């Protein structure tokens, strides 16, 4: 009998397999373009929502800080006019930094040791978590759970055993509501509430005493007038009384008060008949149609600002020593403040959960889009296998292993996923950035989260490649398992 010598089948190098896969993509370019288009659409959607979410969160953080600066004067006037509410004190007490200026001030004003204040931080943070839960409930549900009370009065009410049992039963009936902690944990917090309430009472009492002392010293002088000297003697008096006021904050406060007085001076001109008529003639409108927004828009031009000051002097109105350039700066700041207000409204939902903070709803939409993308890729790869039965059979007859066939299809899918991911990430980035630029204008670029968006782009590209590879597993396995003679018989 003739001896048959069976040799090992040749195994191609990874580089050669890659070249064959690229050649296959070139020969089936139209189908490859269709598959890439599916991936581009899905990844562009994912990149779009990720980019918008990251930009909104970054802008929200920036806007929050700037709005706090804008309201600094109002905040200090309120602080020197009445003691803070219990909830405001709790939020300051719940600050993460144990050595923060807020905690130091609360300790001095309330006559409480810093150790006691720091020890109450965890309970304060817990109380804020519960208060936020009750605040987000609608009136009807909150009424059923805790009755007519609001704020920290809820804790006092629920310490009563009868009200506590009513709360438990009502909460058990509201199956759509998820309480932020186990009820045993909440009950344990309620037992510690009196100690926290004592700290709040001591702080409020200290604030009342300081406010009364400072107001007595001011006499007929208004708080706003006194704050003009925040970087001088009055600032020293506030620090001596126990308030935290750094030198930088004091200087900024003085500037803000001066700028606020100048702003109020300009806004008062709308009530002057002569000024209103002059502005109406300049803008070619009726005097009754003149608005403050129209005036501020007019003053953003320096020549118009100089004209406005001349009209004020002509009507013997106080100009506060302003120049045209200074008035233009004030008008630009007013426009910026208006833009901040709009941005704040646009970013109210910027702290949602889900993937990278895009929110639960958008996360589910992204997952559905990925599923549709996977189905589309799998369909395209199955069609590719069907069209290439004879090619696969020929390769097998020439000695191609199952692993080789499967590798070729997976590499093709990975290439299409990479190209589609890159295209989708770029398209999504352009669309999202363009939309956010229209919405936030000059607020966008100072807060633009470049590093986070780069990570989002890498995630989109990676997801595109992964989806393509996973979707091609079954078609590749089917192609690899084809018997050569069976594939040859298929037309």
Three-state DSSP class for 205? Answer: helix
Residue entry with tokens 């040791």: 113
Nearest Cα residue to 45 out of 369, 482, 371: 369
- CA distances (Å), 123 to each of 109, 169, 182, in order? 20, 25, 15
End position of a domain, from candidates 197, 221, 245: 221
Same domain membership, residue 83 and residue 49: no
- Asked if the structure places residue 9 within a domain, the reply is no
Token pair recorded at residue 187: 């009950």
Q: What is the pLDDT of residue 158?
A: 92
H helices, E strands: number in the chain:
24, 0
CB 95 within 8 A of CB 103: yes
CA distance 215 to 221: 9
Same domain membership, residue 80 and residue 194: yes
pLDDT in tens, 15-62: 777 777 777 777 777 777 877 888 888 888 888 888 888 888 888 888
Same domain membership, residue 325 and residue 433: no
Q: What is the pLDDT of residue 357?
A: 58
Same domain membership, residue 84 and residue 61: no
Contacts of 13 (CB under 8 A, 6+ apart): none
CA distance 23 to 391: 13
The Cβ of residue 275 has, within 10 Å, a number of other Cβ atoms equal to: 22
Q: What is the DSSP letter of 1?
A: -
Same domain membership, residue 337 and residue 267: yes
- Asked if the structure places residue 5 within a domain, the reply is no
Domain span holding position 408: 14-66+352-489
Same domain membership, residue 163 and residue 282: no
Same domain membership, residue 402 and residue 474: yes
Same domain membership, residue 90 and residue 44: no
pLDDT in tens, 144-169: 999 999 889 999 999 999 999 999 99
CA distance 120 to 115: 9
- Asked if the structure places residue 239 within a domain, the reply is no
- Asked if the structure places residue 197 within a domain, the reply is yes
Q: Which residues of the chain have pLDDT under 70?
A: 1-11, 96-99, 348-362, 381-382, 384-386, 389, 482, 484-491
Q: What is the pLDDT of residue 191?
A: 92
Same domain membership, residue 185 and residue 91: yes
CA distance 164 to 187: 9
End position of a domain, from candidates 321, 346, 371: 346
Token pair recorded at residue 339: 């833009």
Query: What is the number of structural domains in the chain?
Result: 3
CA distance 238 to 32: 72
- Asked if the structure places residue 235 within a domain, the reply is no
Nearest Cα residue to 331 out of 360, 293, 363, 369: 293
Contacts of 488 (CB under 8 A, 6+ apart): 390, 393
End position of a domain, from candidates 221, 245, 272: 221
CA distance 283 to 351: 42
Same domain membership, residue 329 and residue 201: no
CA distance 42 to 447: 27
CA distance 76 to 229: 13
Same domain membership, residue 162 and residue 47: no
CA distance 102 to 79: 13
Q: What is the pLDDT of residue 353?
A: 54
Nearest Cα residue to 337 out of 244, 285, 254, 267: 267
DSSP string covering 183-220, please? Answer: HHHHHHHHHHHHHHHHHHHHHHHHHHHHHHHHHHHHTT
Range 91-125 burial, b when 16+ CB lie within 10 A, else e: bbbbbeeeeeebbebbbbbbebeeeebeebbebbe
Same domain membership, residue 154 and residue 76: yes
- Asked if the structure places residue 299 within a domain, the reply is yes
CA distance 151 to 154: 6
- Asked if the structure places residue 98 within a domain, the reply is yes
Contacts by 5-12, CB closer than 8 A, 24 or more apart? 9/399, 9/401, 10/399, 11/401, 11/404, 12/404
Three-state DSSP class for 406? Answer: helix
Q: What is the pLDDT of residue 430?
A: 93
Token pair recorded at residue 466: 């992964």
Q: What is the pLDDT of residue 485?
A: 66
CB 238 within 8 A of CB 245: yes
Nearest Cα residue to 170 out of 141, 137, 194: 141
- Asked if the structure places residue 379 within a domain, the reply is yes
CB 95 within 8 A of CB 102: yes
């Amino acid at each position: 009998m003739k001896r048959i010598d069976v040799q090992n089948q040749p195994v191609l190098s990874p580089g050669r397999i890659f070249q064959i896969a690229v050649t296959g993509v070139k020969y089936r370019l139209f189908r490859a373009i269709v598959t890439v288009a599916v991936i581009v659409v899905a990844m562009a959607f994912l990149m779009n929502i990720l980019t918008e979410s990251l930009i909104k969160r970054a802008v929200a953080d920036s806007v929050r800080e700037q709005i706090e600066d804008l309201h600094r004067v109002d905040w200090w006037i309120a602080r020197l006019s009445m003691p803070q509410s219990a909830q405001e004190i709790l939020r300051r007490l719940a600050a993460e930094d144990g050595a923060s200026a807020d905690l130091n001030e609360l300790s001095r004003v309330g006559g409480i040791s810093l150790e006691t204040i720091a020890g109450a931080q965890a309970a304060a943070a817990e109380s804020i978590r519960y208060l936020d839960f009750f605040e987000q409930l609608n009136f009807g549900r909150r009424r059923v759970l805790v009755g007519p009370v609001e704020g920290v009065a809820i804790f006092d009410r629920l310490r009563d055993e009868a009200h506590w049992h009513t709360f438990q039963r009502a909460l058990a009936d509201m199956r759509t509501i998820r309480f932020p902690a186990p009820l045993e944990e909440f009950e344990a917090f309620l037992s510690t509430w009196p100690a926290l309430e004592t700290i709040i009472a001591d702080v409020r009492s200290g604030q009342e005493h300081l406010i009364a002392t400072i107001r007595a010293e001011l006499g007929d002088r208004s708080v706003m007038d006194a704050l003009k000297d925040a970087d001088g003697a009055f600032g020293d008096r506030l620090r001596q009384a126990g308030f935290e006021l750094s030198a930088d904050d004091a200087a900024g406060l003085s500037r803000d008060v001066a700028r606020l007085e100048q702003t109020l001076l300009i806004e008062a001109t709308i009530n002057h008949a002569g000024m209103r008529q002059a502005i109406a003639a300049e803008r070619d409108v009726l005097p009754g149609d003149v608005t403050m927004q129209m005036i501020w828009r007019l003053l953003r031009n320096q020549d118009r600002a100089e004209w406005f000051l001349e009209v004020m002097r002509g009507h013997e109105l106080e100009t506060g020593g302003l120049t045209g350039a200074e008035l233009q700066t004030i008008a630009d700041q007013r426009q910026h403040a208006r833009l901040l207000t709009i941005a704040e409204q646009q970013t109210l939902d910027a702290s949602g959960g889900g993937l990278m903070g895009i929110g639960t709803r958008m996360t589910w939409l992204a997952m559905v889009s990925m599923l549709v993308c996977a189905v589309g890729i799998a369909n395209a790869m199955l069609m590719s296998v069907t069209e290439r039965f004879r090619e696969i059979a020929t390769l097998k007859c020439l000695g191609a292993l199952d692993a080789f066939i499967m590798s070729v299809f997976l590499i093709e899918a990975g290439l299409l996923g990479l190209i589609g991911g890159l295209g989708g990430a770029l398209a999504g980035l352009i669309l999202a950035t363009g939309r956010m630029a229209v919405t936030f204008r000059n607020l966008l670029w100072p807060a633009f989260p470049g590093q986070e968006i780069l990570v989002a782009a890498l995630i989109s590209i990676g997801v595109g490649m992964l989806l393509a590879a996973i979707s091609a597993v079954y078609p590749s396995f089917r192609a690899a398992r084809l018997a050569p003679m069976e594939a040859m018989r298929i037309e």
